[in-house]
Amino acid sequence: MNNAPKRLSNLLTGAGLTIATAESCTGGMLGSLVTSVGGSSAYFLGGIIAYSNGVKLRELGVKQSALRRCGAVSSTVAGQMAAGVRKRFGADIGVGITGIAGPAGGVPGKPVGTVFIGVACLEAHLVRRFLFRGGRQAVRKAACAAALDMLVELLMRLESAAKSRRCRPARRRPRWP
C-alpha cells in the first residue's frame, strides 16, 4: 500500500480528474492515505465519514429502502455511497466503503471482515465484496488497500480506453449510390 497513494496521485493528476470519499468502517483512513501525497489538493475534493445510517441518508442520499432491504453493509449501499459522494462534491470519481471491521457486529452471511467497496464515475460503476481476516485495524487497512487498488485499476482502464479511442482509425461512412 506504500506506493498506491502515489500511483493514484499520478493517475489522477495525469488525467485531470478529481475524487471524493465516503467512508464508514474505515473512518476516514482512505481520505488520509489519499492526502498523504503532496499536491493532493489538486484532485482530492473531500470526504464524508458516514458511520451512522442517518449520515448515509442525509449527506450521501442513500435510500432508506436500500438500508431496510439490504442493510448498511451491502453492495447496494456501497454503490449509493460512491454515487452520492461523487454528486455531493461534484467529483469525477466517488468511492464508498462500508463494512464490519469488528471485533463484533458480524451476522450470518456478513461475518466480521465483510467489506463492500463502490467506485462511481461517469463511465463506470463498480462494487466489489471482500472478506478480510484479522483484527479491526487489519480489516480497515485491507479495505483501504483494496479501495486504492480498485481506483488504480479503474483509472488505468479509463486511460487505456481513452488511448484506444484516440488511436483508432476513423471509420469511413459508406457511400450510397
8 A C-beta contact, residue 81 and residue 93: no
Which parts of the chain are beta strand (E)?
Answer: 19-23, 44-49, 93-99, 114-121, 125-131
Residue 61, by phi and psi: left (phi above 0), alpha (psi -120 to 50) or beta? left
Count of CB atoms situated within 10 Å of the CB of 111: 13
Instruction: Give the pTM.
Output: 0.91
Average pLDDT over residues 81-104: 97
CA distance 116 to 127: 7
| Torsion angle of the four alpha carbons 2, 90, 14, 120, in this order, in degrees rounded to the nearest 10 | 60
CA distance 55 to 57: 5
Q: What angle do CA 141, 143, 148 make, to 5 degrees?
A: 95
Query: Per residue in 94-115, pLDDT tens?
Result: 999 999 999 999 999 999 999 9
Query: Per residue in 149-161, pLDDT tens?
Result: 999 999 998 888 7
Tell me the domains of the chain and their CATH numbers: 4-167 (3.90.950.20)
Average pLDDT over residues 47-71: 98
Q: Which of 62-66, 104-108, 160-164, 168-172 has the highest mean pLDDT?
A: 62-66
CA distance 97 to 31: 11
Least Cα distance to 147 among 13, 34, 12, 11 occurs for 34
The H or E element spanning position 1 is: none
